[in-house]
C-alpha cells in the first residue's frame, strides 16, 4: 500500500491521501489536526455496498469491489502515520520525538469512517485495532461508524471490540432520520430502523454503552422539521436510550452528482434546540477538509479503471 498523492485543506488542518494497493485499488484516507486530538481516518473497503445517496461511495455503489484485508488496512494507516511525520512533523508513534510544539501532543484517534461499512469487516477490524492497540500509547482511541447493515454483525463485532478495547472505542450509528420513509430515501436498501434498534438498544442497555447517533441535516425540509426532531426523541424514548445516546448534528458535505443541499449552521442549532427541549442530548459536529474532498461522506475508493476514467475526464 503506497501513497501516490496528497492534498492539504486551506486551513492546514486536514490532509487527504490517495493510496494504491498491490491489486491496483485506489483508497482514500485522511489526517486531521483536530482541536483536541489527532485523527487518522481510514477506509475498510474498496467501494461500499451501502447505497447512501449523500455519500461518494454510496452514490456509486455499483463500484463496490471488496473488503480490504486486515493487513491492507494496517498498511494504509501506517503509510499515513509515516507521511504525517514527514508532512507536518508530528510523530504519532513517538509524540515526544515530534518536531512540533509540546502543545500539539494530544491523543490519537483511529477512525474507521472512510470508505466502506465496518460491520462487514467483523474479522478484519478487531485484528487491525489489536495491532494498533499494541503499537501505540494507551492514550490512543478508536471509533467506527456504521449504518447498521448487516444487523446480524452488530453484536459479534461489538463483543469482540469490548473484549479487545473495553472503553477505548466508541461507535457512531448513522441514523440521519428516525422516520422510516425518509431514511429509505436517504439510505435505500438499509435495514429497517426497528430491526437495527431492536439489536442495538439491547446491547447498549445491557452493557450501559453510550453511543453517538449521527444525523446529517439537509435543506428543503427533508429531515430538519419539528416532526423529524420529535421522531428522534420518540425513537429514543421507545427504546429507553435517551440517557445512552448523543445526537451528533452534522453539516452535509456535498458530493458530485447529488442534488441534496446542506443546512446552515443557524438552522442546525435551531433543530438542536428543538431536540434539547424534548430531552435529547445533542452536539454539533464540525467536519474538516470539505474543500479538498476529505470530509465525512466525501472519501472515495475505486478500481484502476475508475481512476483512469477520472483522469480521462479531467483531461477533456
Averaged pLDDT, 249-270: 88
Please say whether the beta carbons of 76 and 43 come within 8 A: yes
The number of folded domains in the chain is 1
In the chain, what are the helix, strand and coil shares in percent, each to the nearest 5? 40, 25, 35
Task: Band the pLDDT of 285: cuts 50, 70, 90.
Answer: confident
The pLDDT of residue 65 is: 81
SS3 label, residue 214:
strand
pLDDT at 70 over 90: yes
User: Does residue 314 sit within a domain?
Assistant: no
Q: Between 245 and 189, whose confidence is greater?
A: 245
User: Does residue 268 sit within a domain?
Assistant: yes
* Of 49-53, 208-212, 300-304, minimum mean pLDDT range: 300-304
SS3 label, residue 202:
helix
SS3 label, residue 67:
strand
| Structural domain boundaries enclosing 135 | 2-308
pLDDT at 37 over 80: yes
Q: How far apart are CA 114 and CA 17, in angstroms?
A: 12
Task: Band the pLDDT of 208: cuts 50, 70, 90.
Answer: very high
Task: Band the pLDDT of 267: cuts 50, 70, 90.
Answer: very high
Averaged pLDDT, 122-143: 91
Q: How far apart are CA 225 and CA 219, in angstroms?
A: 10
**For the residues of 12-60, what is the DSSP string, one character each?**
SSEEEEEEE-TT-EEEEEEEEEETTEEEEE--SEES-S---TTSHHHHT
Task: Band the pLDDT of 127: cuts 50, 70, 90.
Answer: very high
User: Does residue 259 sit within a domain?
Assistant: yes
pLDDT at 293 over 80: no
The pLDDT of residue 51 is: 87
Grid cell digits, residue 264: 446552515
pLDDT at 106 over 80: no
The pLDDT of residue 254 is: 82
Q: Would you give the DSSP letter of residue 218?
A: B
The pLDDT of residue 290 is: 77
Task: Band the pLDDT of 109: cuts 50, 70, 90.
Answer: very high
User: Does residue 195 sit within a domain?
Assistant: yes
CATH code of 115's domain: 3.20.20.70
User: Does residue 34 sit within a domain?
Assistant: yes
Task: Band the pLDDT of 62: cuts 50, 70, 90.
Answer: low
The pLDDT of residue 206 is: 96
The pLDDT of residue 195 is: 97
Q: How far apart are CA 36 and CA 50, in angstroms?
A: 31
This prediction has a pTM of 0.89
* Of 31-35, 203-207, 289-293, minimum mean pLDDT range: 289-293
User: Does residue 258 sit within a domain?
Assistant: yes
- Across the chain, what does the average pLDDT equal? 88
Grid cell digits, residue 303: 478500481
Task: Band the pLDDT of 305: cuts 50, 70, 90.
Answer: very low
User: Does residue 315 sit within a domain?
Assistant: no
**For the residues of 106-152, what is the DSSP string, one character each?**
--EEEEE-SSS-GGGGTTHHHHHHHHHHHHS-TT-EEEEEE---SGG
Over the stretch 148-200, which tens digit does the pLDDT of each residue have?
999 999 999 999 999 999 999 999 999 999 999 999 999 998 999 999 999 99
* Of 86-100, 109-123, 247-261, minimum mean pLDDT range: 86-100
Top-confidence range, 95-99, 249-253, 278-282, 285-289: 278-282
User: Does residue 207 sit within a domain?
Assistant: yes
Amino acid at each position: 500500500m503506497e501513497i501516490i498523492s496528497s492534498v492539504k485543506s486551506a486551513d492546514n488542518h486536514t490532509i487527504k491521501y490517495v493510496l494504491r494497493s498491490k491489486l491496483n485499488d485506489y483508497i482514500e484516507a485522511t489526517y486531521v489536526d483536530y482541536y483536541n486530538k489527532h485523527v487518522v481516518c481510514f477506509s475498510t473497503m474498496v467501494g461500499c455496498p451501502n447505497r447512501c445517496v449523500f455519500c461518494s461511495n454510496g452514490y456509486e455503489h455499483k463500484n463496490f469491489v471488496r473488503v480490504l484485508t486486515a493487513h491492507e488496512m494496517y498498511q494504509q494507516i501506517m503509510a499515513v502515520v509515516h507521511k504525517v511525520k514527514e508532512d507536518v512533523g508530528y510523530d504519532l508513534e513517538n509524540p515526544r520525538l515530534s518536531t512540533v510544539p509540546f502543545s500539539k501532543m494530544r491523543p490519537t484517534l483511529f477512525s474507521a469512517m472512510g470508505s466502506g461499512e465496518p460491520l462487514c469487516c467483523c474479522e478484519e477490524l478487531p485484528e487491525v485495532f489489536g495491532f494498533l492497540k499494541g503499537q501505540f500509547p494507551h492514550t490512543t482511541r478508536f471509533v467506527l461508524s456504521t449504518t447498521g447493515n448487516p444487523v446480524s454483525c452488530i453484536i459479534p463485532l461489538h463483543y469482540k471490540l469490548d473484549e479487545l478495547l473495553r472503553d477505548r472505542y466508541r461507535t457512531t450509528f448513522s441514523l440521519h432520520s428516525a422516520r422510516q420513509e425518509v431514511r429509505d430515501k436517504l439510505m435505500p436498501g438499509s435495514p429497517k430502523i426497528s430491526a437495527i434498534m431492536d439489536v442495538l438498544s439491547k446491547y447498549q442497555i445491557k452493557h450501559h454503552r453510550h453511543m453517538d447517533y449521527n444525523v446529517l441535516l439537509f435543506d428543503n425540509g427533508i429531515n430538519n422539521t419539528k416532526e423529524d426532531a420529535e421522531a428522534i426523541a420518540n425513537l429514543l424514548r421507545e427504546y429507553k436510550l435517551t440517557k445512552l445516546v448523543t445526537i451528533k448534528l452534522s453539516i452535509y458535505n456535498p458530493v458530485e452528482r447529488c442534488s441534496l443541499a446542506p443546512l446552515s449552521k443557524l438552522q442546525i442549532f435551531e433543530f438542536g434546540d428543538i431536540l434539547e427541549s424534548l430531552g435529547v442530548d445533542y452536539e454539533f459536529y464540525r467536519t474538516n477538509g470539505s474543500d479538498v474532498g476529505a470530509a465525512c461522506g466525501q472519501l472515495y475508493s475505486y478500481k484502476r479503471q475508475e481512476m483512469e476514467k477520472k483522469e480521462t475526464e479531467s483531461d477533456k
